């Protein structure tokens, strides 16, 4: 089925360890996003990539880096994990048709990350 | 800065009742508004997408309206069922950023 695929689904890290969350979409969307979801805080944007070759910071970028590897793939890296980065991470993508039609967002199933 | 608010935060209704979830946003310069459903421990499922030029969208028992000038959207659920129990999220899409979410309304439908 077409959509957004995230790996891994679950991960436990020790403080200071690094890891990369992978995301791929097969809908030929130009834009991709990384969000984190925390109880009481809702969904917050970490980074986004409006098109291949560009990335921009969102609301909570500290402690993260991203790479738009190609049009399909957008990865999120934690260089030195901290307990405050315990969260559920969602990747999403969206497309645009013509000048006026902005498509909806499609989300992956999420990565549940625990940093101990 | 765009802010999205959803009221109420939680709602409990008996099966069969019609209900309305509310969403308001502070900046009316949006491209579109999207309603999502999230089941506990799961991802986000898109329910309805309303473009800024549209007034409403319907899918089955769901109807979403948009009043861009007043910064409001409603999600109407007809004849609610226990399977409708979930958290419903409203989000707006605008220039220069990504989708901005409200904190959601958690709906519980009892049989």
How does the average pLDDT of chain A come out, rounded? 93
Write out pLDDT tens, residues B19-77: 999 999 999 999 999 999 999 999 999 999 999 999 999 999 999 999 999 999 999 99
Over residues A18-31, mean pLDDT: 95
CA distance A71 to A95: 12
How does the average pLDDT of chain B come out, rounded? 96
Higher pLDDT, A102 or A3: A3
Higher pLDDT, B105 or A100: B105
A19: nearest Cα among A65, A74, A88, A68: A65
CB contact under 8 A, A103 and B49: yes
Whole-number Cα distances in Å, B88 to A73, B92, B106, B107 = 28, 14, 6, 7
Residue A114 has pLDDT above 80, yes or no: yes
pLDDT over 70 percentage in chain B = 100
Strands (DSSP E) contained in chain B are 4-7, 10-14, 19-25, 32-38, 44-51, 56-59, 62-67, 72-77, 86-93, 100-101, 105-110
Any A CB within 8 A of B95 CB: no
Any B CB within 8 A of A51 CB: no
Residue B97: band (very low, low, confident or very high) from pLDDT cuts 50, 70, 90 = confident
pLDDT over 70 percentage in chain A = 97
Any A CB within 8 A of B99 CB: yes
Preferred mutation among A9, A43, A66, A98 to probe B, highest tally of B CBs within 10 A: A43
Q: Say what the pLDDT of residue A1 is.
A: 63
Nearest-CA distance B76 → chain A (Å): 19
When CB atoms are compared, the residue of B34, B43, B103 closest to A108 is B43
What 3-state class would DSSP assign to A1? coil
The neighbouring-strand residues paired with B84 are none
């Amino acid at each position: 089925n077409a959509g957004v695929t995230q790996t891994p689904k679950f991960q436990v890290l020790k403080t200071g360890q690094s890891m990369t969350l992978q995301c791929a979409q097969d809908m030929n969307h130009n834009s991709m996003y990384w969000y984190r979801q925390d109880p009481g805080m809702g969904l917050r944007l970490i980074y986004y990539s409006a098109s291949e070759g560009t990335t921009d910071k969102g609301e909570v970028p500290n402690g993260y880096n991203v790479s738009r590897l190609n049009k399909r793939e957008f990865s999120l890296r934690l260089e030195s994990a901290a307990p405050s980065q315990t969260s559920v991470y969602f990747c999403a993508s969206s497309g645009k048709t013509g000048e006026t039609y902005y498509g909806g967002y499609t989300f992956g199933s999420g990565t549940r990350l625990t940093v101990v | 800065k765009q802010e999205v608010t959803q009221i109420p935060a939680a709602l409990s209704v008996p099966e069969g009742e019609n209900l309305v979830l509310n969403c308001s946003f502070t900046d009316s310069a949006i491209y579109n508004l999207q309603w999502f459903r999230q089941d506990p421990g799961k991802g986000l499922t898109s329910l309805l997408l309303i473009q800024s030029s549209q007034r409403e969208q319907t899918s089955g028992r769901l109807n979403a309206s948009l009043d861009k000038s007043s910064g409001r959207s409603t999600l109407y659920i007809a004849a609610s069922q226990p399977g409708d129990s979930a958290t419903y999220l409203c989000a707006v899409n605008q220039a220069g950023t990504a989708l901005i979410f409200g904190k959601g309304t958690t709906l519980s439908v009892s049989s």
